[in-house]
Structure 1
Amino acid sequence: MKRLLLPLLLALSTPALHAQKAPAEADAVKQTVTAFFDGMRRGDSTAVRRTLAPAAVFHGFGGKPSQPPTLEIESINGFLKAVGTPHPEIWDERVQFERVLIDANLASVWAPYEFYLGSKFSHCGYDSFQLVKLAEGWKIAHVIDTRRKEKCR
């Protein structure tokens, strides 16, 4: 009986250990995404760059009204330069973490957002982040988003 008890206890405790680790990892992933947007709000391109994996890729998916949507590759360096260049209004992207999925060193974040220039609404959509866990922690490897001015929720 004792021989069966130890393996049984180990088997039952493994999901509990995984369950405890999962929220901590999800929180770490969210912290990376939050740091990205906090840096953007401050106009701090160095802080934004620290959240990115080497060779990160940004895509935008949207278009003009009454035209088919287009997929655009966005320059990381151009984005960082724009973030760090003084602008009259704060770039305030307000995200909600709808879903965070993690498998080993890969995470996916699905997040509806609203973007404001200062206090003025600009556009909305969904952000999809792909993050990788490197030696220094979770880093953003890919971002793709949708953009529209109406029907946000």
Structure 2
Amino acid sequence: MRPILLYIFLITGSVAVAQSSTEGIRIQKTIDDFFLAFHQQDTTFIRTLTQSSVSLQSVVVGNEGQIRVKSEGFGTFLKSIASIPSTTRFKEELHAYKIQHDDRIAQVWTPYSFYVNDSLSHCGVNAFTLYKDESGRWQIVGIVDTRRKDCN
């Protein structure tokens, strides 16, 4: 009887790992698609990847060294993306993905470097919060980032 229980445990454990791995891939694809749309300045596609009340925040250090959280409206964010001149090259390069998820929510941590016209502008970390909607799609509900100039 024990070998049968062990066999069932191993099979169901393998299925759980496979499902978890599949969800991680789907979550990462949402983030990858977000940056693809960002780099292409495709605000329409970005809207399909985000929940309508998505929150955008940055943890910033002011000129006097004070640390604060700056919030930005999603519409303002989309307008700023759309208004980047075609002569300006920009790229946010993600260095890694740390994905944690449960049934309906996920957190993704992505260290990054941001380049403007091939020069390093700043670096930091993005923290994405996502949820899985009733159709099974992962959507971004929040983004918090840090930005710093000392990118060693």
TM-score (norm 1): 0.89
| Maintained 8 Å contact 1:63/1:70 | yes
* TM superposition shift of 1:41: 0.8
Residue of structure 2 in register with 1:143 after alignment: 143
Structure 2, unaligned runs of 5 or more: none
Q: Distance in 2 between matches of 1:58 and 1:115?
A: 17
Whether contact under 8 Å (2:90, 2:118) holds in the other structure is no
Q: Is the deviation greater in 130-139 or in 5-14?
A: 5-14
User: Could you tell me how far apart the structure 1 residues matched to 2:108 and 2:52 are?
Assistant: 19
Cα distance in 1 for partners of 2:81, 2:136 equals 23
Q: Please list every run of 5 or more consecutive structure 1 residues that lacks an aligned counterpart in the other structure.
A: none
TM-score by length of 2: 0.90
Equivalent pair of 2:122/2:147 in contact (CA under 8 Å) = yes
Identity %: 26
What value does the CA root-mean-square deviation take over the aligned residues? Answer: 1.6
Are 1:121 and 2:120 counterparts? yes
Matching of residue 104 in structure 1 with residue 100 in structure 2? no
Contact 2:130–2:139, Cα closer than 8 Å, also in 1: yes
SS of match in other structure, 1:79 = helix
* 2: CA distance, partners of 1:118 / 1:35: 22
How many pairs are equivalent? 150
Residues 106-115 or 134-143, more deviating: 134-143
* CA-CA distance at 1:69 after TM superposition: 1.3
1:128 counterpart SS class: strand
For residues 94-141 of structure 1, give each alpha carbon's deviation from its aligned partner in whole angstroms, at most 9, with x where no partner exists.
112341001111110111000111312111000000111112511111
Alpha-carbon contact 1:97-1:109 (below 8 Å) kept: no
